[in-house]
Amino acid sequence: MAKETVPEVKALKALGDETRIRAVLALRDNELCVCQIVELLELAPSTVSKHLQILKEAGLVESRKKGRWVYYRLSESDARGVPSAALNMILTTAQHSQLAKADKQRLKEILKLDPEDLCERQNRC
Q: CATH no. for residue 102?
A: 1.10.10.10
Tell me which residue of 68, 73, 6 sits closest to 37, measured CA to CA: 73
Full domain range(s) for residue 107: 7-121
Q: Please count the structural domains in the chain.
A: 1
Reported pTM: 0.85
pLDDT over threshold 90, residue 63: yes
* 1 within some domain: no
Q: Beta 61-66 vs 69-74: how paired, if at all?
A: antiparallel
Task: Give tens-digit pLDDT for 67-119.
Answer: 888 999 998 765 455 656 677 788 888 889 999 999 999 999 999 998 888 88
Residue 87 domain-assigned (yes or no): yes
Residue 47 is assigned to a structural domain of this protein:
yes
User: Is there a domain that residue 2 lies in?
Assistant: no
In a domain? residue 66: yes
